[in-house]
Amino acid sequence: MSSKSSALGRFSEPTLFILISLANENKHGYAIMEDIEKSYDMKIGPGTLYGAISRMEKTGLIEAIPSQERRQPYQITPDGREYLQEKLKEMERITTIGLKRLGLI
């Protein structure tokens, strides 16, 4: 397990959803929550979201960016993109093995 993975601990699932949400555009916290709910039909609460955001900032996966508004936007960093890509490829391998063993592919 990479140091970033271990630092994120059991909260890696919200991390992936947040990184996916930020992969194509910068967003503030509420917009991230809305995107995750709309895209995955899954709600994450503010405590979970901002706890994950805090950990992700500390590990360099995302960063806050300047804003003229009162809401704080975030962007994915190059390390965050690399981490997301690695995790998605890992999930793809796991899914492929599972589908093969189920006889679905």
50, 29 contact by CB (below 8 A)? yes
Q: Which domain holds residue 95?
A: 3-101
Q: What CATH number is attached to the domain comprising 61?
A: 1.10.10.10
Report the pLDDT value the prediction gives residue 85, as an integer from 0 to 100: 97
| Confidence check: pLDDT of 5 > 60 | no
Show the tokens assigned to 70: 């009162």
Show the tokens assigned to 98: 């599972």
d(CA 80, CA 91): 16
| Confidence check: pLDDT of 12 > 70 | no
Q: Whole-model pTM?
A: 0.84
What's the number of domains the chain is made of?
1
